[in-house]
Amino acid sequence: MTFDVRKVNDEEFDAWSDAIDIGFLTPQNRGDGPRRRRWFDLDRCWGAFDAGKPVGTLRSIEMELTVPGGAFVPLAGISAVTVAPTHRRNGLLSRMLAGALSASKERGEPLAGLYAAEYPIYGRFGFGAATTTANWHLDARAATFARELPGSVELVDAETVCEEGFKLYDRLRALTPGAVSRPRELWERHLGLVPREGGSVPKHDLYALCRDRDGHVVGYMRYKFDEERWTHDRPDNVVEARDLFALTVEYEARLWKYLADHDWVSEVRAPVMRREDELWRELLVNRRVAWADNQADGEWIRVLDAPAALAARRYEVPGRIVLRVVDKDGYADGTFALDGGPDGATCTATGESADVTLPAAVLAAIYLGGFTAGRFAALGMIDEHNAGAVARLSAMFQTAIAPWSPVGY
């Protein structure tokens, strides 16, 4: 059968938007096209059509990714990917993704990224899992911190958070390899300030800011309480931190303490987008009262322009290495001489013999410093041609602190 894969036009947008909601098992949200349209760039919306009906969807978002060293690198954030169950195994995802990635490379975006709902899909398209994530829990009744924590916490409304949280997050992402930009309009959407037709700004969410002694905002949190629960006539409630950002570990701990200090709360839970290793836990008297579960892959990266991507980041250990990158789709394929260190890097195509050969997906996985080349060499996924090359590659790419992507897309 022949299907049409192309960019979406204005007349098709509402039906294409409904196809997203069906694909994500939220058919109750159909009819949201007019609201959603304000945030979607049609030049980045791809669809698969059968006789004019959308049966596949994919969106690319213009973003920036913070890389080791602090540079902001253009990134195409891949999202809203669906294929109707009636049209699976017809290559529609491959065709939509090829269109979106080719367009991104032509725009000069050296990287693409996404969050994978299903693990096995995206490795075959050259993406590699570059960060990790976990859910975190804190026993509120036993949460005692070893020292006084700085900062004061105040409740605010969503409009204040949209203003102050937006500025705070921009400061945070500059310090956080793996973080992506979140434009103001996405903050409005995230906070529910532009409700669906007939809806209202959500009331179950509460918002808090942490300020330093001079009154500057240094932390932000969005949270909610689960349904009221009592166990053996004792209050046994859970408070969920949906967002929790701060500029330092101590201010982050201050926000966790604020949640744990609520009466009737037995557990603080952060079920989304946390680091696999949370440093604030070390400030507890007993670190065992905080624990992680559901450790998983986080942000996946796809290198589209290897020289541009590799030259953009910094390397904590200086060195020179020649990489042969194998990319069946051609975007990052080639042999490249990388010369980098803490002060900058250059990367150019070369005719030299390679020190190592690695697939594009492995280059993506080690790009942010969260995984070592040695790990993939042990798995037989990197070929070493000169002794010591894998160790040199690991030392150059690894970072002192693991990358983290605080927000999805």
What CATH number is associated with residue 327? Answer: 3.30.1050.10
Whole-model pTM? 0.93
Is 201 annotated as ligand-binding? no
Provide the token pair at 325: 């990158």
pLDDT at residue 197 tops 80: no
Q: Is 367 noted as a catalytic residue in this protein?
A: no
Give the pLDDT score at 36.
92
Task: Tell whether 341 and 275 lie within a shared domain.
Answer: no
- Is 237 marked within a binding site? no
Are both 170 and 271 inside the same structural domain?
A: yes
99 is an annotated ligand-binding site residue: no
Confidence of residue 24 (pLDDT cuts 50, 70, 90): very high
Angle between helices 389-397 and 360-367 (to 10 degrees): 40
The share of the chain scoring above pLDDT 70, in percent, equals 100
**Mean predicted confidence (pLDDT) in 363-369:** 98
Pairing of strands 132-139, 128-129: unpaired
- Mark whether 176 and 261 lie in a shared domain: yes
Q: Residue 119 falls within a domain, yes or no? A: no
Q: Which pLDDT score, from 0 to 100, does residue 176 have?
A: 95
Residue 189: per-residue pLDDT:
86
Do 346 and 284 lie in a common domain?
A: no
| CATH classification of the domain holding 68 | 3.40.630.30
Listed residues 242, 276, 297: the one ending a domain: 297
Residue 211 and residue 274 in one domain: yes
User: Which of 52 and 198 is assigned the larger pLDDT?
Assistant: 52
Which is the catalytic residue, given 220, 223, 331, 409?
409
94 labelled ligand-binding = yes
Amino acid of residue 201: V
The verdict on residue 241 lying in a domain is yes
**Is residue 127 one of the residues assigned to a domain?**
no
pLDDT of 201:
75
Query: What confidence tens digit (pLDDT) does each residue in 42-70 have?
Result: 999 999 999 999 999 999 999 999 999 99
Query: Is residue 82 one of the residues assigned to a domain?
Result: yes
* Mean pLDDT within 262-279: 94
Domain endpoint, select from 297, 314, 348: 297
57 domain residue, yes or no:
yes
pLDDT at 194: 85
What is the pLDDT, as a whole number, of residue 50? 96
Are 298 and 159 in contact, with CB atoms under 8 Å apart? no
Model pLDDT, residue 4: 96
Residue whose C-alpha is closest to residue 298's, from 138, 82, 127: 127
Q: What are phi and psi of 51, to 5 degrees?
A: 55, 40
- Mean pLDDT for the stretch of residues 370-391: 97
Q: pLDDT averaged over the chain?
A: 95
> Is residue 91 a known part of a binding site?
yes
Q: For the purposes of burial, counting CB atoms within 10 Å of the CB of 74, is it exposed (0-12), middle (13-18) or buried (19 or more)?
A: buried
Q: Which of 115, 122, 207, 251 is catalytic?
A: 122
In this structure, is the dihedral angle defined by the CA atoms of residues 90, 96, 97 and 102, taken in order, positive or negative?
positive
**How far, in Å, CA of 180 to CA of 168, rounded?**
13
Q: Is 408 annotated as a binding residue?
A: no
The answer on pLDDT for 202 being more than 90 is: no
Residue 311 and residue 200 share a domain: no
- Strand, coil or helix: 58: strand
Asked whether residue 128 is domain-assigned, the answer is no
Condensed to tens digits (0 to 9), the pLDDT of residues 289-336 reads 999 999 999 999 999 999 999 999 999 999 999 999 999 999 999 999
Range of the domain at 366: 305-397
Q: Is 191 annotated as contributing to ligand binding?
A: no
Q: What percentage of the chain has pLDDT greater than the value 90? A: 91
Whether the predicted pLDDT of 256 surpasses 80: yes
Active site residue 331: no
Claim to verify: residue 95 and residue 179 sit in the same structural domain = no
Residues 249 and 357 in one domain: no
Structural domain ending residue among the three candidates 61, 92, 109? 109
- For position 186, what pLDDT does the model report? 85
Domains: count for the chain:
3
41 in the same domain as 178: no
